């Protein structure tokens, strides 16, 4: 009798858990501020690369090796609502600062050549004043399309929602505890994706079948320095789309100068023979 009662209680507990009663609450993705470091695996080759991610509300910074840009730092600049790839090489020509002009013209130009002013101490002509130093470009920030920018790990799981996910048990990664979550419907036939997520919505690990795509090695919660998420001072902003538009405008202007866009001139009529004076 006791054995039957125990089995009945276990079956009831399993039934309640299957219905959602007693199951862990789905994480709250409340844009927790943190710095997380880990390893990201390539979907094609499986090679791993070290990745550092900073989050502060809607702002994000990723330091990783990307297929298109190589070793790169990507920031979301909140002031412009744009994403930039930062390149600290500074391989951009600088523009010299024009020297200061006199505030007023001299009363009259000298009619004869005057000797150069001398340095009383050395008796040599004084050196001309040094020009102002040119501004130094220490890096470039290339604007990229939002679709090309890496998305937060939490985005897909927050969009999935509690109704479309189920927990498969507890997990621990990088000393942090969480629960394993998987979609109730597989993203593709034969594909099972799971994620170890903390209760405050930080993704610690992502697996696809038996393959680990992302795994954290350290996590520090807390407010992050706002300077991490903007374009640093001294960086030159480059917008490829704006450059393309400018090139198009220049080509149109060139066409108008060369006559490439003008209609062809009307043909010159052939000369008529002179009238015969003999009638």
Residue 76 CB neighbour total at 10 angstroms: 21
264 lies in a domain?
no
Beta strand 70-77 with 59-66 is antiparallel
Predicted pLDDT at 43 = 72
The whole-number pLDDT of residue 253 equals 56
Closest of 34, 51, 73, 30 to residue 214, by C-alpha: 51
Per the CB < 8 A criterion, the answer to whether 34 and 222 are in contact is yes
Q: Are 203 and 193 in contact (CB under 8 A)?
A: no
Q: Which of 33-42, 101-110, 260-269 has the highest mean pLDDT?
A: 33-42
Position 210 confidence tier, pLDDT thresholds 50, 70, 90? confident
Determine, yes or no, domain membership for 125.
no
pLDDT digits (tens, 9 = 90+) for 65-106: 766 667 789 998 866 778 999 988 744 434 333 333 333 444
- The answer for 5, left when phi > 0, alpha when psi is -120 to 50, beta otherwise, is alpha
pLDDT over 70 (residue 171):
yes
**Averaged pLDDT, 249-268:** 55
CATH number at residue 180: 2.50.20.10
Return the structure tokens found at 236: 């030159």
pTM: 0.64
202 falls within a domain? yes
**Domains identified in the chain, total number:** 1
Structure tokens at 278: 């003999």
Beta bridge partners of 235: 139
* Mean pLDDT for the stretch of residues 24-35: 90
User: 60 lies in a domain?
Assistant: yes
161 is in which domain, residue-wise?
25-93+138-254
């Amino acid at each position: 009798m006791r054995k039957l009662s125990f089995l009945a209680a276990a079956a009831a507990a399993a039934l309640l858990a299957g219905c959602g009663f007693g199951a862990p609450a789905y994480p709250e993705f409340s844009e927790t501020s943190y710095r997380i470091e880990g390893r990201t695996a390539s979907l094609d080759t499986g090679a791993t690369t070290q990745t550092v991610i900073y989050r502060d509300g809607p702002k994000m910074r990723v330091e990783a090796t990307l297929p298109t840009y190589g070793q790169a730092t990507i920031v979301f600049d909140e002031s412009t609502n744009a994403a930039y790839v930062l390149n600290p090489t500074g391989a951009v020509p600088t523009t010299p600062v024009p020297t200061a002009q006199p505030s007023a013209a001299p009363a009259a130009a000298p009619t004869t050549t005057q000797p150069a002013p001398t340095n009383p101490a050395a008796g040599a002509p004084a050196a001309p004043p040094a020009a102002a130093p040119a501004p130094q470009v220490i890096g470039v920030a290339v604007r990229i399309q939002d679709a090309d920018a890496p998305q937060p790990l939490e985005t897909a799981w927050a969009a999935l929602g509690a109704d479309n996910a189920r927990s498969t048990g507890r997990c621990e990664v990088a000393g942090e505890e969480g629960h394993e979550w998987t979609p109730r419907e597989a993203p593709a036939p034969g594909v099972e994706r799971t994620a170890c997520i903390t209760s405050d919505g930080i993704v610690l690990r992502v697996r696809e079948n038996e393959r680990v795509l992302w795994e954290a090695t350290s996590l520090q919660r807390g407010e992050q320095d706002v300077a991490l998420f903007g374009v640093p001072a001294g960086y030159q902003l480059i917008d490829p789309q704006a450059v393309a538009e400018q090139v198009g405008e220049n080509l149109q202007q060139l066409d108008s100068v060369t006559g490439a866009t003008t209609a062809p001139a009307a043909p010159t009529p052939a000369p008529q023979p002179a009238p015969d004076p003999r009638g």
